């Protein structure tokens, strides 16, 4: 995939770019949103400290850099982004749109780790431009991620601090290796996010294995933004800097520069999870309207197709009805009369008085598969959570895992586990139903054994039903579908 890397100069955007290259993607351009007037500006989306250093990245990497000033502000601050021409997100759209007029590309790299706010907005822009979002760091454990960056030679320095336990005059300018022990201590003492995901600190990457030339800082000035006695806020203003040649062959591809780096491979990923514990619209609208409902009230859809080979055509029409926060979805092939291409069962409820929460992740990462259609990975309505069907895709490549049925069953159920961890309060007791679709009756014992071995949806609390069907999406052999109910009452929660 030809990829444009959104960069701020920080460690996360650079490390995600390294993961893109490790997975065979080609970085064809860099995109940077910069502050036009000051070193530091308030932004919910972008890091602006050190924006003048980023101007050296094109020569350091040997990749063209496109920049645009941030003109908008955080107008839409809701969890679901709604387009507003005055919002700072539209500056990103304009920049990426401008780049595609000059360079052909397919995907966008960004360094989102925990921020749904940022991820959702990058995905919104990518969707509008028909690009794939790549966020390999999404939901990574921060302690492990910090260690990975250090192990893989990401030389990033602290350029802004804004948290209890971090001091401008003491910590600004130190690199990740020098700060690691202190950050871990502050995590224990004050619950500090060791990768700075709570805005505790910001970084500037001066060198990494992708760089042909390293950035050398010659002169800085510490700016104290807030001299708070407990959590002072300060940042580095960069006055002079230069590039230093690393003696690398400038003709080396980005991938070749990473050949000695121990980034996670798909083989490693397989081992890691395996070690885990075992249409007519008028008719549609009439039905909804007769019951005082609309498409926005649909939270789960069962899509039955007569021929999985026709799925792409069906999906192209299906996706026109759902844009933001689409329902969860389960798709299987069934034997149906010859004149029926597909059938849909939909669950809907008036959401005026019920709380609804959706998890709709379109970015490719290591966390769990990006949705391969217009559906949410899970939708929570009041005390019930409805999970989309899960198959054994390897998240970084979105390809089906090869191997025995037990391996595919473990991976696909592990994905639902990952989604549940992001959706649910796992400290509360849950119960519910697990449906397992398989394509061969001889798999029944294997998938039952996998279900009994795992503990996210324990057999003591969840009823397992296994059904044999002719075919599943992507020619998968197994698909899991979970409906979970929080067994604690409202009274229990209020107490």
Alpha carbon distance 180, 145 (integer Å): 11
Kindly list the structural domains of the chain, giving each domain's residue range(s) and its CATH number in brackets, ordered by start.
2-258 (3.40.50.620), 266-486 (3.30.1330.40)
Which residues fall within 8 angstroms of residue 121, CB to CB, at 6 or more apart?
45, 81, 89, 92
Alpha carbon distance 254, 251 (integer Å): 9
Ramachandran region of residue 297, left (φ > 0), alpha (ψ -120 to 50) or beta?
Answer: alpha
Full DSSP string of 289-310: HHTT--GGGEEEEEEEES-GGG
E strand or H helix at 426:
none
Q: And the tokens for 310?
A: 């026709």
Question: pLDDT tens digit string along 145-192?
Answer: 999 999 999 999 999 999 999 999 999 999 999 999 999 999 999 999
Instruction: Give how far Cα 316 sits from Cα of 66, 322, 374, Å.
Output: 33, 11, 9
Residue 284 CA neighbour count, 13 Å, CB half:
17
Tens-of-pLDDT digits for all 495 residues of the chain? 999 999 999 999 999 999 999 999 999 999 999 987 666 777 889 998 999 999 999 999 999 999 999 999 999 999 889 999 999 999 999 999 999 999 999 999 999 999 999 999 999 999 999 999 999 999 999 999 999 999 999 999 999 999 999 999 999 999 999 999 999 999 999 999 999 999 999 999 999 999 999 999 999 999 998 888 788 999 999 999 999 999 988 888 898 888 655 665 444 444 444 434 334 444 445 455 556 677 778 999 999 999 999 888 888 888 888 767 899 999 999 999 988 899 999 998 876 767 888 999 999 999 999 987 789 999 999 889 999 999 999 999 999 999 999 999 999 999 999 999 998 765 567 899 999 999 999 999 999 999 999 988 999 999 999 999 999 999 999 999 999 998 765 444 444
Question: pLDDT tens digit string along 63-91?
Answer: 999 999 999 999 999 988 999 999 999 99
Alpha carbon distance 348, 474 (integer Å): 27
How large is the angle between the packed helices 142-151 and 176-190, nearest 10 degrees? Answer: 170
**Phi and psi angles of residue 289, each rounded to the nearest 5 degrees, phi first:** -65, -35
| Confidence at residue 58, expressed as pLDDT on a 0 to 100 scale | 97
* Percent of residues in the chain assigned helix, strand, coil, to nearest 5: 30, 25, 40
| Confidence at residue 272, expressed as pLDDT on a 0 to 100 scale | 44
According to DSSP, residue 87 is labeled B
| Confidence at residue 7, expressed as pLDDT on a 0 to 100 scale | 97
Q: 106: helix, coil or strand? A: coil
**Phi and psi angles of residue 448, each rounded to the nearest 5 degrees, phi first:** -65, -40
| Confidence at residue 260, expressed as pLDDT on a 0 to 100 scale | 55
**Spatial contact of 50 and 238, defined as CB atoms under 8 Å apart:** yes
Q: And the tokens for 68?
A: 């645009």
| Confidence at residue 265, expressed as pLDDT on a 0 to 100 scale | 47
Strands (E), 208-337: 213-226, 233-245, 298-305, 328-333
pTM (predicted TM-score): 0.86
Q: And the tokens for 146?
A: 């910090």
Alpha carbon distance 466, 405 (integer Å): 14
**Spatial contact of 222 and 169, defined as CB atoms under 8 Å apart:** yes
| Confidence at residue 282, expressed as pLDDT on a 0 to 100 scale | 42
| Confidence at residue 461, expressed as pLDDT on a 0 to 100 scale | 94
């Amino acid at each position: 995939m030809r990829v444009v890397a959104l960069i701020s100069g920080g460690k996360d955007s650079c490390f995600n770019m390294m993961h893109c290259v490790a997975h065979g993607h080609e970085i064809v351009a860099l995109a940077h949103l910069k502050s036009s007037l000051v070193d530091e500006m308030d932004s919910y989306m972008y890091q602006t400290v050190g924006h003048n250093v980023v101007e050296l990245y094109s020569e350091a990497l040997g990749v063209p850099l496109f920049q645009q000033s941030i003109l908008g502000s955080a107008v839409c601050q809701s969890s679901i982004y709604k387009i507003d021409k005055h919002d700072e997100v539209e500056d990103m759209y304009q920049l990426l749109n401008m780049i595609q007029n000059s360079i052909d590309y397919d995907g966008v790299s960004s360094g989102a780790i925990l921020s749904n706010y940022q991820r959702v907005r990058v995905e919104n822009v990518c969707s509008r431009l028909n690009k794939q979002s790549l966020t390999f760091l999404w939901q990574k454990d921060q302690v492990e991620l910090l260690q990975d960056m250090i192990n893989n030679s990401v030389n990033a320095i602290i350029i802004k601090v804004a948290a209890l336990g971090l001091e401008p005059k003491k910590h600004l300018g130190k690199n990740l290796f020098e700060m690691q022990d202190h950050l871990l201590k502050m995590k224990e003492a004050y619950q500090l996010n060791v990768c700075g995901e709570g805005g505790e600190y910001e970084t500037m990457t001066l060198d990494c294995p992708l760089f042909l030339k390293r950035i050398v800082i010659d002169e800085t000035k510490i700016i104290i933004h807030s001299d708070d006695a407990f959590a002072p806020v300060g940042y580095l203003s960069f006055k002079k800097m230069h590039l230093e040649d690393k003696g690398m062959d400038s003709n080396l591809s980005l991938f070749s520069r990473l050949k000695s780096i121990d980034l996670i491979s798909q083989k490693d990923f397989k081992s890691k999870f395996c070690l885990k514990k075992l249409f007519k619209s008028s008719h549609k609208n009439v039905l909804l309207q007769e019951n005082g409902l609309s498409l926005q009230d649909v939270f789960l859809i069962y899509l039955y197709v007569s021929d999985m080979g026709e799925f792409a055509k069906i999906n192209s029409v299906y996706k026109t009805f759902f844009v933001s926060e689409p329902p969860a979805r389960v798709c299987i092939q069934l034997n149906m009369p010859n004149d029926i291409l597909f059938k849909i069962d939909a669950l809907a409820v008036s959401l005026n008085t019920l709380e609804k929460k959706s998890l709709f992740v379109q970015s490719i990462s290591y966390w769990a598969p990006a949705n391969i259609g217009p559906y949410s990975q899970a939708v929570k309505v009041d005390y019930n959570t409805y999970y989309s069907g899960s198959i054994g895709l390897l998240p970084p490549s979105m390809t089906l895992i090869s191997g025995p049925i037990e391996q595919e069953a473990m991976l696909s159920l592990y994905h639902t586990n990952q989604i549940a961890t992001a959706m649910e309060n796992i400290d509360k007791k849950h119960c519910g139903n697990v449906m397992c679709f398989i394509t061969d009756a001889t798999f029944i014992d294997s998938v039952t054994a996998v279900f009994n071995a795992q503990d996210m949806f324990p057999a003591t609390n969840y009823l397992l039903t296994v059904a044999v069907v002719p075919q599943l999406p992507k020619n998968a052999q197994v698909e899991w579908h979970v409906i979970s109910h929080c067994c604690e009452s409202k009274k229990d929660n209020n107490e």
